[in-house]
Amino acid sequence: MAAAADTTKTRPKTSPKSIKFLFGGLAGMGATVFVQPLDLVKNRMQLSGQGSKAREYKTSFHAVASILRNEGIGGIYTGLSAGLLRQATYTTTRLGIYTVLFERMSKADGTPPNFFMKALIGMTAGATGAFIGTPAEVALIRMTADGRLPPDQRRGYTNVFNALIRITREEGVTTLWRGCIPTMARAVVVNAAQLASYSQSKQALLDSGYFRDDILCHFCASMISGLVTTAASMPVDIVKTRFLNDPPYKSDRMVHMFSDERYTQTHSICRDDVLVKVIRKEGFFSLWKGFTPYYARLGPHTVLTFVFLEQMNKFYKIYFLDS
């Protein structure tokens, strides 16, 4: 009985599931505040070559200069409200589910799941989070793309809630989940690469004996994870960006822009629609168009998200679990 009591006392305490979900969302939102300009540039670069504005941005620096010149300093934060809502829905769900499943799949002695199980958990968490976060994703893509259009063709959403209301009213509520399949496909690739590679990199760094479980270790693991994720996910990300920006109908003011850029409504990324059209018209390596701003955005976002998350978990453990 005494031994059983001692075992109970030494059993490590864990955060409530609600806290895991809350910290996941807050970490993603905090990171977005810093990297939103890079997300804007990445989206503009991926849309460069679509419709009548072919190759409008030669490089990432050219894109930044053009945005600042045409839209002002505030233009680089276009779509911030949508970016924050996306993190509040998508990241809250994916990191919360990943953390819960990771703990459940770990052995009783604390041994973590193997790499393939981590990847499977990441794919499950990512697909679920992406479905929930698709409406905010649609608003984000449209808001960040708006500035590249002539003034009379812009949608002019004032914030993410205005975007969601107008999309629902003008195009139907199902439009909020238009493109959820390529969005979920992108999330599966991102999360399988990001969450699994982060956990694996962190574990390898700790096992090397040169790192402790501190910010430096979290930073290095995040940078490795960001590089792996960027290389793996860019092709599906450009498909997702093009698909969500494309309107579901040919209105009078948009028809000339998209007359040669219509993508099928099957939500397929394998048939002769987005993926094949991009490769055929712009070349195979255009699938990695915007690599620099994508990694410049994903790298710091990955670093900041995991650093914020680790620090929140650390302080919660110190002040609430161990007190």
pLDDT in tens, 141-180: 999 999 888 888 899 999 999 999 999 999 999 999 988 8
The half-sphere exposure of 6 on its side-chain side, counting CA atoms within 13 A, is 3
Closest CA to 190 of 108, 92, 302: 302
- Record the tokens describing residue 303, joined without a space: 């670093």
Q: What is the pLDDT of residue 259?
A: 35
Residue 224: φ, ψ to 5°: -65, -45
Please tell me the distance from the alpha carbon of residue 193 to that of residue 179, in angstroms, as a whole number: 21
Structural domains present in the chain: 15-321 (1.50.40.10)
CA 175 to chain centre: 20
Average pLDDT over residues 28-51: 85
Torsion angle defined by CA atoms of residues 241, 242, 243 and 248, in that order, rounded to the nearest 10 degrees: 120
Name, in order, each residue with C-beta under 8 angstroms of 38's C-beta and a sequence gap of 6 or more: 293, 296, 297, 300, 301
Task: Look up residue 264 and give its two tokens.
Answer: 């099928």
Question: For residue 109, how many other CB atoms are within 10 A of its CB?
Answer: 5
pTM: 0.76
Exposure of 173 by Cβ count < 10 A (0-12 exposed, 13-18 middle, 19+ buried)? exposed
Half-sphere CA count of 207, side-chain side, radius 13 A: 7
As a whole number of angstroms, the distance between CA 24 and CA 20 comes to: 6
User: How does residue 264 score in pLDDT terms, banded at 50, 70 and 90?
Assistant: very low
Which pLDDT tens digit goes with each residue over 77-126?
A: 999 999 999 999 998 998 889 888 998 999 888 788 888 888 899 899 99
pLDDT at 11: 47
Closest Cα to residue 36, out of 6, 69, 67, 5?
67
